[in-house]
Structure 1
Amino acid sequence: MGQPTVGILHPGSMGAAVAACAATNAASVMWCAEGRSPASVARAAQFGLTAVATLSELLDRSDIVISLCPPAAAEDLARDVAVQGFAGVYVEANAISPERALRIAALLEPDATVVDGGVVGSPPTGAKSPTLYLSGPADATARIEALFAATAVQTSVLGAEVGKASALKLAYASFQKTSRVLVALAVGMAREHGVDQELIEVASRRTDSYLSEPEYIAKTAARAWRWGPELEEAADALAAAGLPPQMLRAAASTLARWNDAKDDGELTLTDALDRLAQP
Structure 2
Amino acid sequence: MGAAVAAQAKQGGAEVLWCPEGRSTETRKRAIAAGFSEVSDIAEMARRCDVIMAICPPANAESVAGLVSAEGFRGIYVDANAVSPATMASIKAFAFRDADLLVDGSVVGSPPSTSKTTRLYLSGSGEAVAVVAGLFSGTAVDARILNGGIGKASALKLSYSSYQKASRVLAAVAHGLARDWGVQDELIDIAGGRSTSYLAEPTYIPKVAARAWRWAPEMREAAAAVGELGFPDELAEATAAVMERWAEAKDQSLGISEALELLRTDGPQTAPGPSAE
Q: Would you call these one fold, judging by a TM-score over 0.5? A: yes
1:92 pairs with 2:92: no
Q: Percent identity?
A: 48
Equivalent-residue separation in structure 1 for 2:85 and 2:79 (angstroms): 11
Aligned match of 1:184: 172
Residue 126 (structure 1) shift: 3.2
Residue 24 (structure 1) shift: 2.7
Q: Comparing 44-53 with 236-245, which one deviates more in the overlay?
A: 44-53
Equivalent-residue separation in structure 2 for 1:111 and 1:143 (angstroms): 14
Question: Please, what TM-score do these two structures have when normalized by structure 2?
Answer: 0.93
Equivalent-residue separation in structure 2 for 1:154 and 1:224 (angstroms): 39
Matched-pair contact (CA < 8 Å) for 2:92–2:99 = no
Query: Does the residue aligned with 1:189 lie in a helix, a strand or coil?
Result: helix
Matched-pair contact (CA < 8 Å) for 1:88–1:112 = no
What aligned pairs does 1:194-209 form with structure 2 within 5 A after superposition? 194-209=182-197
Equivalent-residue separation in structure 2 for 1:81 and 1:160 (angstroms): 25
Equivalent-residue separation in structure 2 for 1:270 and 1:188 (angstroms): 35
Question: Please, what TM-score do these two structures have when normalized by structure 1?
Answer: 0.92
1:48 pairs with 2:35: yes
Superposed CA deviations along residues 193-245 of structure 1, whole A, max 9, x for unmatched, are 00001110111111211111101110100111100000000000000111000
1:33 pairs with 2:16: no
Q: What RMSD, in angstroms, separates the aligned Cα atoms of the two structures? A: 1.2
Aligned match of 1:7: none
Task: Give the number of equivalent residue pairs.
Answer: 265
Query: Does the residue aligned with 1:46 lie in a helix, a strand or coil?
Result: helix
1:16 pairs with 2:3: yes
What aligned pairs does 1:132-211 form with structure 2 within 5 A after superposition? 132-211=120-199
Matched-pair contact (CA < 8 Å) for 1:137–1:160 = no
Superposed CA deviations along residues 29-74 of structure 1, whole A, max 9, x for unmatched, are 0010112111111111122211111010011000000000000000
Matched-pair contact (CA < 8 Å) for 1:87–1:111 = no
Superposed CA deviations along residues 138-179 of structure 1, whole A, max 9, x for unmatched, are 000110111100000001111141000000001000111111
Which runs of structure 1 show a deviation greater than 6 angstroms over 4 or more consecutive aligned residues?
Answer: none
Aligned match of 1:60: 47
Letter in 2 for 1:83: A
Equivalent-residue separation in structure 1 for 2:127 and 2:99 (angstroms): 16
Letter in 1 for 2:81: N
Query: Does the residue aligned with 1:132 lie in a helix, a strand or coil?
Result: strand
Matched-pair contact (CA < 8 Å) for 1:19–1:29 = yes
Equivalent-residue separation in structure 2 for 1:222 and 1:187 (angstroms): 27
Equivalent-residue separation in structure 1 for 2:35 and 2:219 (angstroms): 50
Q: What runs of 5+ residues in structure 2 fail to find an aligned partner?
A: 268-277
Residue 109 (structure 1) shift: 2.4
